[in-house]
Amino acid sequence: MRMMRLKYKLRTLICKPDEYDIPKIPWGYIGRFYFERTGRILGCQSKNHTQCEGGLWTCERCGKRVCWEEGSMDLPEICDDCWVEVKEKGVAWETT
């Protein structure tokens, strides 16, 4: 139980570093190290690709933070998962 709480706190800290005022953590170094090892940007929540490009942006439909590898030309403001739900499955835009 304790380990699960620690994993949740670490995941929250990594995905939303701007919400915390912790100047001691060298986010630039950690982010570069993580990218070199995994090919992913630290904080990218996508499960649709293995390599990241560009910066992070937030999907307007679900709120997931993803990199520029996500998105489409016809609905650039939503992530790939939301695009499939809206365009392919016909789910309403407001539904999450």
Domain boundaries, the chain: 2-88
- Over residues 78-96, mean pLDDT: 86
pLDDT in tens, 29-61: 888 888 888 888 888 999 898 888 888 999 999
Question: CB of 67 within 8 A of CB of 54?
Answer: yes
First-residue to last-residue Cα distance in the chain = 29
pLDDT of residue 7: 55
